[in-house]
Structure 1
Amino acid sequence: MRVLIHGINYAPEQIGIGKYTAEMAEWLAQRGHEVRMVTAPPYYPAWKVSKGHSSWQYQREHISGVDVWRCPLWVPAKPAAITRLMHLLSFTFSSFPMMLRQVVWRPDIVISIEPPLLCAPTAWITARLSGAKCWMHVQDFEIEAFFGLGFGSSVTLKRILTDLETCIMRRFDRVSTISQSMLNRLVSLHIPTKKAYLYPNWVDINLIRPNPEGRDMRTEWEFLPHHKIILYAGNIGKKQGLELILDAAEALSKTHPHAIFLLAGNGPVKEELIYAVKRRALSNIIFKPLQPLADLPAMLAMADIHLVIQKRGAADAVMPSKLTGILAAGGYSIITADADTELGRLVWNNPGIAELVEPENKDAFIKSIARMLDLTERFNRKARNFAVKHLAKDVILQDFERQLREIIGSS
């Protein structure tokens, strides 16, 4: 198959959508398919274009069997509602001619990754001009997340944008998403059930596992044997609501003096959090940059407790990618989500894989951490078993490949 993928995020981004898109593309290439990727220079989660890449030039690379075409991108220093829109528009316009250039290559299928939704029409046009099938994969419902996180409040505007989103999606031959509640939302948007497909994020259960080989990060980072490490790893952004960690660190500093909160990652509000930690003189919070992917297994295995934190309104719009790694590592985790969200149902339907706490409930969050700190066992067998059974990379991608062959064969 000739597979053309269009999306703003790609390797070497180590977390979020870029990680999964790159792993999908590289897996397909290893299976013998011809794969091209039209994307932007890497910038996430630091919101700064990585060294060796240009914000204003077109570039071409060959990465792990995938032909990668990078398009100019404007990246705001401090992303907000308007600057995010301009950011997405810059890629929408710069990638349009590059996508049209792929028409002569005659792909068999064109895959559009949302976000950004703005790029979906380009993918659809490219598919139609080249006689290819078109597939939209929704990693995050942008419009739902935008209003859920308080960026907008107009009911009329939300309805108009949702109608536009539905109109775009219905033009695709297949629309997939990463969780059952998100699949239900596709159906609620009147996407025909025969077009809707559950395509969850995965984890390499052979790479991320309990007791992996690799760096001894506890020793390298000078943690003592009696320290309890409470880890948040990933994007440090607005929708996470990580101020909750500062409140917990302050409350637990007296009752659990050996507890250390480790925040490993980058993002637009990291500097604000660092300033707040200094202002509040919190000595039990440590910041580290995002670690190389090769060191992720060792870092996850180092933690006694993992935190998956989101503000109310975000938990049903997206399934956090960090959770798959935590489960595969057999980690004990605390998830902030309402019971009627995808994350909430995941925990309720699979008792023991994690502990659920109401979003933005400081007291409940602190009590949950305190209870988990008293555990003597660091390996959560139920979490690991869930990952092996439901999230294994090869199982999910093999089914996806079968779906690709089926949709191409129906033409």
Structure 2
Amino acid sequence: MADMAAFAAADGAAVRVFTARPHYPVGNAFPGYDEGGHDHEQIDGVTITRVSPWLPGKRGALGRIISESAFLAKGLAALLSGRLKRGKIVITLCPSILTVLLGLFATRRGGRHVAVIHDIQSGLASGLGMVNIGIVVRMMRWLEKIVLNRTDLILVLSEAMRKQLTSQGVRTRAEILPIWVDTEFIKPLPKPKSMDAPVVLYSGNLGKKQSLDQVIEMARHLRRRNLPARVVIRGAGSQGTELSARAEYEGLDNVEFRPLVNSEDLPAALGEGDVLLVPQNDQIADFAVPSKIFAIMAAGRPFIAAAPSGSLLWKLGDKSRSHLCVPAGDAEALADAVETLINDPDLRRTLGGNGRAYAVTHHERKVVLSRFMDLVNEDRKRSGAEVSGGHYLVFEPDARGHAAEWVKHLIAHVRKNPVPARITFTLPRALEKEIGGDLPRSVRLDFLDDSETARCTHPQLIVSAFARWWAMRRALERSHATHGLFLGIDHASFPLALGLPAGGRTVSGIMFRPTTHYRTAGWCRPTMKERLRDLRKDIILRLLTRRRAVSRIFSLDPYFPDYAARSYKHGHKVVPLADPAYPLAPPGPEERAIAERLPDERTVFLMFGEITARKGILQLTEALTLLPRDTARRTCVVVAGRIDPEIRVRVTKAFGTILRRQPDLKVFVVDRRLAAGEITALVERCDVVLAPYQRFVGSSGVLLWAAQLRRPVISQEYGLVGKLTRNFGLGLAVDTSDAGALAHAIEAAGSRGSNLPFNPVGVARFLWSHSPEAFSAALLSDDGMSPREDSNLVTMIAV
């Protein structure tokens, strides 16, 4: 489901996933998810809502039915409360038929419901002996028939599964969509040199479906034959304790049990095995396909399938020449096959190479998921719902901050992925030199005059708001564009909410700073001033989303769209948009000059970007005066960026005070806008990035720079910045309005920032969803520009 959702989002869809907290196959919610800290988040451009699962203490058919019924009940409650919105395209993932039933309720009238079937539940329950009461099995098959016949399309893994559903009376069209694998991520890797003995590896769920008794019996045969091989069983599941006890009881010292690895470590984990095992219960071959085989093939490893003769795994072996097959349940034949492969490295290499080639050709992720999207969208394509052509205008009057970077991303996307539309960028004249030059044929630049730019960037928000609305309207009329995109709609939201016309065109825009959800999300305790601000924003957003001329609001806060969908009648117009990480360019020799002046023996703290009072520079200078003398002696602080002229004198005086009170502290101040290469060099050189913002709302590109170069941050605990820092393990979030707390955090960072919390896996997850390509594709897609309300909203449901 994760791959499907990410691929659909990259394809331009606004994807929302409703699911349970991850718990399979260990039987309890994963660490970090059990407290509900990730119940609302955005990953790879996908908005995810999770609910707590009901997990039985003892696994079995009854416990599973209750667990899946509880998920259905929570899904229905979410529908009633508006937490889960009914959609025009709904995709459900089954092994649980109750998930598909929830999908029926979640599909709008005239919508399209696609059920992805990876397991046929009634067949598994009967074949594995989980349900031995005939009437219960018949009821399960009846429910499967009734529910699946009310879907619009069924996607199954094999022809055998399609025939099985037909035999149960399912008449809905079923298409075969094979399991996919990311062959760019999972590649053949060498076995670690420290592992001398041959390794026979099973990795996956330890359940009845896998029939792992035969693996334990196989290990007994291998031990009798004195074959110097380790049998490694890596995984978790209902049979884990029983299997481990049996191996210990029989004295099988050649068997080793290990926990599952993180998905990021899967390629290396597969590379540890010389021979891999794919055992299958002989009663369920027509009801399920083991997905692990394609990861094994992509890793270039040979495997042995223990499955019924004539089953999919045997047929796949004939076609791919990637593995050996033995009858399911025949442990001695399995041992024979293992011995054959262990003693024949050439055969192992041949089978592994064949498997890799077959996976790349037939099961590559992009190929399979492209067909998936074609099947999901086929009704829309037949009805001509896809929009092409047109003339779009992108409006940004402020040359500071993100403007140049984002415009470059959009132009680069058009150059790489030509769109069937003309695009005009209306920009301040100050960006002409930086943006101009060789442009794609479909792109033209239009510049505001100096007086327009001055009004649009006026310090009085009411002035800049109406100026931006008027400048956008004039630019639309001047260019004859059919749609206008504000790269920052916050400032223009008030006149748009009032219903002031956009010249008969539609508009959309990026919202930087939604805050109305902060209090309900429990992120902060708002002041009275902030309560009044949020009340004003709430009224404006309700009116703004009601405007027919407003087709989309792209939220840089990934947690806001779910709140908007629940709180506003037209909240579905609010969709998540990941702030793009700036591609790191290698700094040149001149751009390294500042970084090379910094002392090697000290811990370097870096604050960079536009240096304003809201960014916390004054609190930082006060905190530096409070550092203990021995900490100051080991510390270097760099402030690099243009200092706001309104506070420049105060900042200069503050640094003078620091020099008098902390003579041992090294301080470097660079008061100008830095080139991208200079920022890269400084972040590479520093140990900790400082983001001591003062109740700053919205996200920050500083977090992305730090994450890309794997540097921990000390950030404010307030709002989205604090939420992202905590949730993804980017560093330490503290009350940066308290100079003492900020000083304590700097002191506690330790040598090179080694004491700060920093989660490499969380940082990687944070970066995955912030690519410039996904950002540009979302903004420039037909769905992003067109006024078709929620026609590209895809809802995915999986237990």
TM range (shorter): 0.7 to 0.9
- Partners of 2:86 and 2:216 in 1: CA distance: 53
Q: 2:333 aligns with which of 346, 360, 364?
A: 364
Determine the structure 1 residue equivalent to 2:232.
262
User: Residues 59-138 of structure 1 correspond to what in structure 2 (within 5 A)?
Assistant: 59-100=39-80, 107-129=87-109, 131-138=110-117
Determine the structure 1 residue equivalent to 2:245.
275
Determine the structure 1 residue equivalent to 2:550.
none
> Does structure 1 conserve the Cα–Cα contact (< 8 Å) formed by 2:155 and 2:177?
yes
Deviations 1:313-371 (A, max 9, x none): 12221110110111112211110111232222222x32622111111112212222122
Using structure 2 for the length normalisation, give the TM-score. 0.46
Distance 1:105 1:125, change over 3 A: closer
Determine the structure 2 residue equivalent to 1:204.
182
Distance 1:171 1:135, change over 3 A: same
Structure 2 residues not aligned, in runs of 5+: 384-799
Determine the structure 1 residue equivalent to 2:271.
301
Deviations 1:159-215 (A, max 9, x none): 33312211111111111111221122233334447x211111101111112237xxx
Q: 2:156 aligns with which of 153, 171, 177?
A: 177
Determine the structure 1 residue equivalent to 2:132.
153
> Does structure 1 conserve the Cα–Cα contact (< 8 Å) formed by 2:69 and 2:98?
yes
What is the RMSD of the two structures over their aligned residues, measured on CA atoms?
A: 2.2
One-letter code aligned to 2:289:
M
SS of the aligned residue for 2:52 comes to coil
Distance 1:83 1:270, change over 3 A: same
Larger radius of gyration: 2
One-letter code aligned to 2:182:
D
Determine the structure 1 residue equivalent to 2:704.
none
One-letter code aligned to 1:142:
Q
Q: Which moved more, 1:170-179 or 1:243-252?
A: 243-252
Q: 2:260 aligns with which of 281, 284, 290?
A: 290
Number of residue pairs the alignment of both structures matches? 380
> Does structure 2 conserve the Cα–Cα contact (< 8 Å) formed by 1:229 and 1:261?
yes
Distance 1:84 1:217, change over 3 A: farther
SS of the aligned residue for 1:132 comes to strand
Q: 2:299 aligns with which of 309, 326, 329?
A: 329
> Does structure 2 conserve the Cα–Cα contact (< 8 Å) formed by 1:297 and 1:329?
yes
One-letter code aligned to 1:328:
A
Distance 1:321 1:29, change over 3 A: same
Deviations 1:135-171 (A, max 9, x none): 1111100011100111223444433331221111111
Q: Which moved more, 1:319-328 or 1:365-374?
A: 365-374
Q: 2:26 aligns with which of 37, 46, 60?
A: 46
Q: Which moved more, 1:103-112 or 1:181-190?
A: 103-112
Deviations 1:233-287 (A, max 9, x none): 0111122121222222222124244211011111122122222222222111112
Distance 1:388 1:282, change over 3 A: same
- Partners of 2:99 and 2:61 in 1: CA distance: 18
> Does structure 2 conserve the Cα–Cα contact (< 8 Å) formed by 1:58 and 1:72?
no
> Does structure 1 conserve the Cα–Cα contact (< 8 Å) formed by 2:87 and 2:106?
no
- Partners of 1:242 and 1:271 in 2: CA distance: 12
- Partners of 1:104 and 1:278 in 2: CA distance: 48
> Does structure 2 conserve the Cα–Cα contact (< 8 Å) formed by 1:26 and 1:65?
yes
> Does structure 2 conserve the Cα–Cα contact (< 8 Å) formed by 1:73 and 1:94?
no
Using structure 1 for the length normalisation, give the TM-score. 0.86
Distance 1:202 1:211, change over 3 A: same
User: Residues 207-286 of structure 1 correspond to what in structure 2 (within 5 A)?
Assistant: 207-211=185-189, 217=192, 219=194, 223-224=195-196, 227-286=197-256
Determine the structure 1 residue equivalent to 2:713.
none
> Does structure 1 conserve the Cα–Cα contact (< 8 Å) formed by 2:103 and 2:113?
yes
> Does structure 1 conserve the Cα–Cα contact (< 8 Å) formed by 2:211 and 2:279?
yes
Is 1:26 equivalent to 2:6 in the alignment?
yes
- Partners of 2:253 and 2:133 in 1: CA distance: 42
Residue 409 of structure 1, CA deviation: 4.0
> Does structure 1 conserve the Cα–Cα contact (< 8 Å) formed by 2:75 and 2:84?
no
> Does structure 2 conserve the Cα–Cα contact (< 8 Å) formed by 1:57 and 1:72?
no
> Does structure 2 conserve the Cα–Cα contact (< 8 Å) formed by 1:208 and 1:328?
yes
Structure 1 residues not aligned, in runs of 5+: 1-20
- Partners of 2:52 and 2:272 in 1: CA distance: 39
Determine the structure 2 residue equivalent to 1:400.
372
Residue 93 of structure 1, CA deviation: 0.7
Residue 408 of structure 1, CA deviation: 3.3
- Partners of 1:30 and 1:190 in 2: CA distance: 36
Distance 1:102 1:325, change over 3 A: farther
